[in-house]
Structure 1
Amino acid sequence: MKSINKYELLEKAILNDPLHQLFDAVDAISVQGYNEDRRVIYWNRGSEIIYGYTEEEAIGQKIEDLIIPKDMCEFVISAHRDWVQKGIEIPASEITLHDKDGADVEVFSSHVMFTNQYNKKQMYCVDINMTDTKNAQAQVSFKEHMLQTIFEATPDLFFLIEKDSTITDYYAGSSKNLYTPPSKFIGYKISEVLPADVAKKYNTYINKVIKEAAPFTFEYELMLPHGLTYFEARINYLPEYQQILTIVRDITEQHRSSQTIKQHAYYDTLTALPNRFLSLDRLSQMLNEADRNNENVTVCFLDLDDFKKVNDSLGHEIGDKLLIEAAKRLKKATRKTDTVGRLGGDEFILLSPGLHDEMSIKVVAQNLLEVFRKPFHIDGRELIVTLSLGVAVSPDNGTTVSDLLRNADTAMYQAKTLGRNAYSFFTKEMNTAMIRRFEVEEQMRNALERDEFEVFYQPQFDSRTQNVIGAEALLRWHNPALGNIFPDEFIPIAEQTGLIVPIGQYVINESLSFLSLWQTQQNNDFVMAVNLSPRQFRDKKLLKVIKEALKKANLSPDHLELEITEGVLMTGQSYITEALIELQELGVKLSMDDFGTGYSSLSYLRQYHFDVLKVDRSFVNGITINKEDRDLVKASIAIAHSLGLKVVAEGVEISEQLNILNDLGCDYVQGYYFSKPMPAQKFLDYTENYQRET
């Protein structure tokens, strides 16, 4: 059996471009590099001396057009092609070539084929001028030194292995990545040296490379003293030597980069859960498996209740930490066979194969709700965030990823309407509700242009004298296709779609224009209360719209009262504070709407300068039968008056409520006891007649 020394081994290795500098320093021998098309890609100083062509003249030219005699061209082209395509090497030999002037040049030419980082083959020719034997001997000596230097500069490991997997020789520029010392692997079979799983992989590919006579590449990992290390092994069978050449490269950094890219592509960066792409891909796989086994897959669409309030009021950092903790709870509450993923925002998905009956699914859903009822402790804060959960089960609720996801989402919205902190199974009736939502949204998009909106007005009264002191503007919508659509239905949709901004501008302009007419006709100073939504505060034109509407209606700012819910204030955004300060400086009155329904209303009363506090109808409704509600309203009025605020009680429907509010010192009231909201002309008639009667 032929043997191969370390320098012949290099001729089978991969040469990186940085090694060209080693050849650049040599002018005693010619080193040329050719690509797969036989064009010159490297031409050192030694080549210039021997053949007379400068590097600039040679680069890009084909070898047969430079130094190959015409009678050798066909042979050279064929031999090069056979090496590139079939792996048939060109043997080293003494040949006669031509220089630039056409003169013969006797050289000893050896060749090596490399594969660069782009998996392209490159042939390098090392030619020694044989006219000076002494010089040739010196060049041979230099070549050995040069190849030794290259070995030392190359980080790869090189091994020669017998067909029975015995390791016969090696070279390593550094022993850092050797699994064992040379004394423990030279002369030993791979199975005696490496872990069983790695050795098995080696033996598999050794058999392949011998059988198929083609190079193979595979990856494996080893635990070394400096940590887990990933390797790429490239093996090739050398039939003339009956040996396997193995080049091993450390790819740990590339592996880490690949894993990082994979992590970003398939996993949520915040929670480390599978992202939307990976979650839906797994759902697709589960559905295929379930179809083969005649089983089902349960899809749970989960949404954190009121997460936006937490995120907006406490900041995104707290919100992110809450999402991380929520993800941990979901993982702990589910089985190993389940997939918990994050779809985006505060939306999660749970995929559960093999839940065979409805009761099993209910147990899972109830367990999830239960673990979220426990407070979260984030940066010294105790937060209670519940869960709404929608369930869709294949194949009854869909057999495709899109159908199941959509239906689980629909069921989740149903859970929201049940009061949140609940779960709901998808039913076909829910599709009707979703279709209705889509219809409302579609019709709303051009409702302003079609003049379908109308502002109604509900009068407000002095609690003591019962004189009309102002009104609240309330939007109504009648659509020819859908009929009358209640604000509770279309306002949330307008808020979510952003249509609330132009609609809100319409209400401001319409109500102030009406207020101007009302004051002129009845010669009295009234106040118009208009609701502002959270989305409107994001509109940079809000202050400009209000100023222009006041100017157009010829009204002073103190005749406009903007009702702001606690939900607006909870966002905690700087633009909210800036807008409130600008409105206050403008002279517009500010009213806190729905006071008492949130957990931090008092802090907002201290933080912002309000003029009016509006007690929510839910408390007014109970003051005649519930001492707690009466005490709460009493305390609210006392707090407001101590801060210099006026109090409006909404939802007054019976005289007993009015009497109690009078006794408690409430300033203003409104409600069905006096009047329902009315269109403009009817409102004018009502207030004119009411004033005359009183």
Structure 2
Amino acid sequence: MTEITSLLPGAAGDHSGQTPPALLASAFRLAGVGLCRVSGIHEPVSLDPVASGMIEIADGARPRALLRQADPESRSKLITAVRRALAGEPGRLDMSWLLGDTLAHTDVGVTLSDDDGVPVLLFTLADRTAEREEMAQLRRRNKHLWQTVDLNPQLPWLAEQDKGVIAVTDRYLKLVGLKEEEALGFLGWMKVVHPDDLEKMQAAVGRAMMTNEAMDIRLRFKVANQEYRWMRSQCFPLRNEEGNVVQWYGYTEDIHETVLAEMETRWAADHDSLTALPNRALFNRRLDETIARAAQDMTRVGLMVLDLDHFKDVNDLFGHDAGDKLLVQFSKVLQNSIFVEATIARLGGDEFAILLPNLENPQVMQDTIDAIFAELKTPIKFDGRDFDCRASAGWAIYPTQAANASELFKHADIALYEAKNTGRGRYMAFEPRMKNAMQRRVAMINLGREAVENGRLLPYYQPEYSLETGEIIGFEALLRRRDRNGAICLPGSIYEAFHDFEVAEAIGIEMLNMIVRDMADWRARGIDFGVMSINASTAEFRNRDFIQRLIDHADGAGIPRDRFCVEVNEDVFVGRAAPLVRQMILELKQEGFSIALDDFGTGYASLSHLREIPVDSLKIDRSFIMDLFGEAGSGNDSAAIVSAIIKLGHSLGMTVVAEGIETRRQAVFLKSHGCTIGQGFLFGRPAPKAVVEELLLGARKIA
């Protein structure tokens, strides 16, 4: 470049043996190189067409035009380059030129030459605008890629088949707290992988290298603060043209929070949120797995199911918060009472289960339940109250009492039901006879449900007579069921349905609908039926809706509430619901309904009931009337008891009704001892509405 001036036209020197200046100028033009000559600060600038078009300065412009056209950053560089050239030091520089709203980029060469002895600054200009823009775009792309890698949670790495990991990022080194030489090779990852995950990692890496297929694995890595975090490590093979793997490209990504969230989600799906015990879904899986192993290993498995006695009463009386606390405390009792391998689960509501695998001796079941029931003897305390927590339990053992998991659970559940049916607060082991009893119970419940759904229930009415006047003073409404053949069946045919709260309540609602409809019809036709006694089941006294339902039916039909008598059996007072039952009876009384205590004399605490609830009448149980004269071989005890009940009722200002009167001798005895109302086959059997109407429209007296 320093010799260019000697090649230009008019330059001093001999041109022999050199390229002619005109030819060289043509070569520059063809190469896109422009020429510019400056002979003085006040002299016009000589630019060839290429240079003039490149920086948009006309030939003949003043030198200052070059400076004005130069970008400010390039201007100082140009001045420095000119000074050095004048000092005999030619140079090259990158320059940018202001072309309106755009910039032109050139490579500029500067040298000092002479033209016939006159010093001349010679500039060469090569357009680099397109290259500079492409380079700028590449720099932007590189910056974007760098930011993408730097900000991406994925930490890339590179590995080779025979060397292991050959490159990692600084961020990875910072994350795991290793130096680069420690992280590379085949053993680098072994320094950070959790010991429990090493075998899994080795297997995954070995499989990937043998099959040349991608790897995707989750592991725990030790990070710089010595804690372990969950990471996802993936790698993909890079193959050459022959299809051979030459390198592995991979990345490691911190997924700790994601894994913890997944673990929490899985835990929530498999556990009860209240007690933190396994739920039914997880328990069923473990039961299936345990039975499958036991079948293979020929071992025994014990299954125990338990539920809290009268738990619904706790919710009704003290609220669901109290019920929840009781469940939590009960779950702790179970966990603190079992010292063998076991899975304890809450199956739902107040139902729990205990699975005991590898049962060496059936006595372990007995010992376990004994320990639980011993713990339950101590009242559970919370919110300043002592709760007398009782439970019922049943168990079965595989394979002696069941052939598979489903049957094992079913048999344990049958044993639980049998324990509850014998008085609650008990535990029983499964016996084959229980299965038949359960099948009968289920059949009765299904019959009761079917009777409600298909309108097979109907009310029968049995008259109640005044023993003093012989007149009908009212009726007791009694349930009957018509079977598929049209035969009328007694309530005993669906006895177990009354112990199923859902079905029992549905039966009560259907019966009330029909009874009130009959009463309204009689009332509309001017037929006086007296007072209608309605039996309220235990299920109905577990739901406060019963009171409002009775009010709505009576008021909706326009029947005075004092024409209804609610008969209460002492069974409704059993359990924690007794306070609720007493409160409901008080409310019924306040709403204008009369109350009768049915089957009096057979309950466990009849006298306390008389003191605590507003009873209008006592109904002496039929068993005493039938044995009034020792017909059942009990001597005269029944007569003494009946006489005492009559006197007790009168002293408390109550009406006394005798049920089950079948002979005149019984009626005479009862009347002579002050009993005023009688009911029984002597006066009339329970009958449907049509028969009762004939009785009401005809003679209303007994002979």
TM-score normalised by the chain length of structure 1: 0.63
Which residue of 2 is the match for residue 148 of structure 1?
Answer: 146
Aligned counterpart for 2:388 among listed residues 384, 387, 391 = 384
Residue type at the aligned position of 1:620: G
Which residue of 1 is the match for residue 6 of structure 2?
Answer: none
Query: Following TM superposition, by how much is the alpha carbon of 1:233 offset from its aligned partner in structure 2, in angstroms?
Result: 0.8
* 1:592-638 deviation digits (Å, cap 9, x = unpaired): x899992566666777736578575687358xxx9x965x46744xx
Q: Classify 1:311/1:461 alpha carbon distance in 2 versus 1 (closer, same or farther; 3 Å).
A: farther
Determine whether 1:374 maps to 2:373. Answer: no
Residue type at the aligned position of 1:212: T
Distance in 2 separating the partners of 1:302 and 1:316: 20
Query: Following TM superposition, by how much is the alpha carbon of 1:492 offset from its aligned partner in structure 2, in angstroms?
Result: 2.8
Q: Classify 1:629/1:178 alpha carbon distance in 2 versus 1 (closer, same or farther; 3 Å).
A: same
The SS at the match of 2:292 is helix
Aligned counterpart for 1:669 among listed residues 656, 659, 672 = 656
Query: Following TM superposition, by how much is the alpha carbon of 1:412 offset from its aligned partner in structure 2, in angstroms?
Result: 1.2
Query: Following TM superposition, by how much is the alpha carbon of 1:489 offset from its aligned partner in structure 2, in angstroms?
Result: 3.2
The SS at the match of 2:424 is coil
**Mapped contact 1:304–1:388 kept (Cα < 8 A):** yes
Which residue of 2 is the match for residue 512 of structure 1?
Answer: 519
Residue type at the aligned position of 2:654: D
Aligned counterpart for 1:598 among listed residues 557, 564, 578 = 578
Which residue of 2 is the match for residue 215 of structure 1?
Answer: 214
Which residue of 1 is the match for residue 288 of structure 2?
Answer: 284
Distance in 2 separating the partners of 1:223 and 1:525: 86
**Mapped contact 2:445–2:496 kept (Cα < 8 A):** no
Distance in 1 separating the partners of 2:649 and 2:205: 97
Q: Classify 1:685/1:182 alpha carbon distance in 2 versus 1 (closer, same or farther; 3 Å).
A: same
Query: How many residues are matched?
Result: 522
Q: Classify 1:422/1:433 alpha carbon distance in 2 versus 1 (closer, same or farther; 3 Å).
A: same
Residue type at the aligned position of 2:215: F
Distance in 1 separating the partners of 2:583 and 2:543: 23
Q: Classify 1:440/1:529 alpha carbon distance in 2 versus 1 (closer, same or farther; 3 Å).
A: closer
Query: Following TM superposition, by how much is the alpha carbon of 1:255 offset from its aligned partner in structure 2, in angstroms?
Result: 1.0
The SS at the match of 2:278 is coil
Query: Following TM superposition, by how much is the alpha carbon of 1:306 offset from its aligned partner in structure 2, in angstroms?
Result: 1.0
Distance in 1 separating the partners of 2:552 and 2:599: 35
* 1:233-275 deviation digits (Å, cap 9, x = unpaired): 1134557796654411011222123223312332223322222
Which residue of 2 is the match for residue 651 of structure 1?
Answer: 621
Which residue of 1 is the match for residue 230 of structure 2?
Answer: 230
Q: Classify 1:192/1:309 alpha carbon distance in 2 versus 1 (closer, same or farther; 3 Å).
A: closer
Which residue of 1 is the match for residue 311 of structure 2?
Answer: 307
Query: Following TM superposition, by how much is the alpha carbon of 1:209 offset from its aligned partner in structure 2, in angstroms?
Result: 3.0
Which residue of 2 is the match for residue 578 of structure 1?
Answer: none
Which residue of 2 is the match for residue 333 of structure 1?
Answer: 337
**Mapped contact 2:235–2:250 kept (Cα < 8 A):** yes
Q: Classify 1:604/1:466 alpha carbon distance in 2 versus 1 (closer, same or farther; 3 Å).
A: farther
Query: Following TM superposition, by how much is the alpha carbon of 1:529 offset from its aligned partner in structure 2, in angstroms?
Result: 4.2
Query: Following TM superposition, by how much is the alpha carbon of 1:416 offset from its aligned partner in structure 2, in angstroms?
Result: 0.8
The SS at the match of 2:324 is helix
Distance in 2 separating the partners of 1:413 and 1:342: 17
Distance in 1 separating the partners of 2:503 and 2:648: 36
Residue type at the aligned position of 2:216: T
* Identity within the alignment, %: 22
Distance in 2 separating the partners of 1:206 and 1:629: 79
Determine whether 1:256 maps to 2:263. Answer: no
**Mapped contact 1:389–1:424 kept (Cα < 8 A):** yes
* Bigger mean CA deviation after superposition, 147-156 or 432-441: 432-441
Residue type at the aligned position of 2:435: N
Query: Following TM superposition, by how much is the alpha carbon of 1:289 offset from its aligned partner in structure 2, in angstroms?
Result: 0.7
* 1:131-178 deviation digits (Å, cap 9, x = unpaired): 954444444444433322222221222334566777553215587743
Q: Classify 1:511/1:384 alpha carbon distance in 2 versus 1 (closer, same or farther; 3 Å).
A: farther
* 1:67-108 deviation digits (Å, cap 9, x = unpaired): xxxxxxxxxxxxxxxxxxxxxxxxxxxxxxxxxxxxxxxxxx
Determine whether 1:428 maps to 2:432. Answer: yes
Higher Rg:
2
**Mapped contact 1:160–1:169 kept (Cα < 8 A):** yes
Query: Following TM superposition, by how much is the alpha carbon of 1:378 offset from its aligned partner in structure 2, in angstroms?
Result: 3.2
Q: Classify 1:234/1:619 alpha carbon distance in 2 versus 1 (closer, same or farther; 3 Å).
A: same
Query: Unpaired runs of 5+ in structure 1?
Result: 1-129, 569-592
Which residue of 2 is the match for residue 32 of structure 1?
Answer: none
Distance in 2 separating the partners of 1:364 and 1:598: 31
The SS at the match of 1:355 is coil
Distance in 2 separating the partners of 1:656 and 1:410: 44
Which residue of 2 is the match for residue 531 of structure 1?
Answer: 536
Q: Classify 1:159/1:169 alpha carbon distance in 2 versus 1 (closer, same or farther; 3 Å).
A: same
* 1:162-221 deviation digits (Å, cap 9, x = unpaired): 667775532155877434465864687333455544555544444333332222111112
The SS at the match of 1:150 is helix
* Bigger mean CA deviation after superposition, 416-425 or 266-275: 266-275
The SS at the match of 1:499 is helix
The SS at the match of 2:428 is strand
Distance in 1 separating the partners of 2:577 and 2:647: 21
* Bigger mean CA deviation after superposition, 253-262 or 528-537: 528-537
Distance in 1 separating the partners of 2:621 and 2:496: 20
Which residue of 1 is the match for residue 52 of structure 2?
Answer: none
Query: Following TM superposition, by how much is the alpha carbon of 1:419 offset from its aligned partner in structure 2, in angstroms?
Result: 0.5
Distance in 2 separating the partners of 1:461 and 1:174: 98
Query: Following TM superposition, by how much is the alpha carbon of 1:367 offset from its aligned partner in structure 2, in angstroms?
Result: 2.3
Q: Classify 1:147/1:324 alpha carbon distance in 2 versus 1 (closer, same or farther; 3 Å).
A: same
Matched ranges for 1:628-643 at <5 A: 632=608, 635-636=611-612, 640=614
TM-score normalised by the chain length of structure 2: 0.63
Matched ranges for 1:415-494 at <5 A: 415-447=419-451, 453-457=458-462, 459=464, 470-477=474-481, 479=483, 484-486=490-492, 488-493=495-500
**Mapped contact 1:651–1:670 kept (Cα < 8 A):** no
Which residue of 2 is the match for residue 401 of structure 1?
Answer: 405
Aligned counterpart for 1:350 among listed residues 327, 349, 354 = 354
Distance in 2 separating the partners of 1:340 and 1:262: 18
Matched ranges for 1:550-569 at <5 A: 550-551=557-558, 555-563=559-567
Distance in 2 separating the partners of 1:460 and 1:222: 89
Distance in 2 separating the partners of 1:567 and 1:328: 31
Which residue of 2 is the match for residue 500 of structure 1?
Answer: 507
Determine whether 1:295 maps to 2:295. Answer: no
Matched ranges for 1:117-266 at <5 A: 132-161=130-159, 168-173=166-171, 177-180=175-178, 185=183, 189-192=188-191, 194-198=193-197, 201-222=200-221, 224=223, 225=225, 228-237=228-237, 244-266=248-270
Which residue of 2 is the match for residue 119 of structure 1?
Answer: none
Distance in 1 separating the partners of 2:470 and 2:645: 10
Residue type at the aligned position of 1:651: D
* Bigger mean CA deviation after superposition, 208-217 or 536-545: 536-545
Q: Classify 1:367/1:239 alpha carbon distance in 2 versus 1 (closer, same or farther; 3 Å).
A: same
The SS at the match of 2:169 is strand
* Bigger mean CA deviation after superposition, 346-355 or 447-456: 447-456
Q: Classify 1:473/1:387 alpha carbon distance in 2 versus 1 (closer, same or farther; 3 Å).
A: same
Distance in 1 separating the partners of 2:420 and 2:479: 24
Query: Following TM superposition, by how much is the alpha carbon of 1:566 offset from its aligned partner in structure 2, in angstroms?
Result: 9.7
Residue type at the aligned position of 2:207: K
Distance in 2 separating the partners of 1:223 and 1:621: 73
Query: Following TM superposition, by how much is the alpha carbon of 1:663 offset from its aligned partner in structure 2, in angstroms?
Result: 5.5
Which residue of 1 is the match for residue 647 of structure 2?
Answer: 660
* Bigger mean CA deviation after superposition, 322-331 or 238-247: 238-247
**Mapped contact 2:470–2:701 kept (Cα < 8 A):** no
The SS at the match of 2:400 is coil
The SS at the match of 2:515 is helix
Distance in 2 separating the partners of 1:382 and 1:392: 32
Query: Following TM superposition, by how much is the alpha carbon of 1:352 offset from its aligned partner in structure 2, in angstroms?
Result: 1.2
* Bigger mean CA deviation after superposition, 426-435 or 277-286: 426-435
Query: Following TM superposition, by how much is the alpha carbon of 1:668 offset from its aligned partner in structure 2, in angstroms?
Result: 1.3
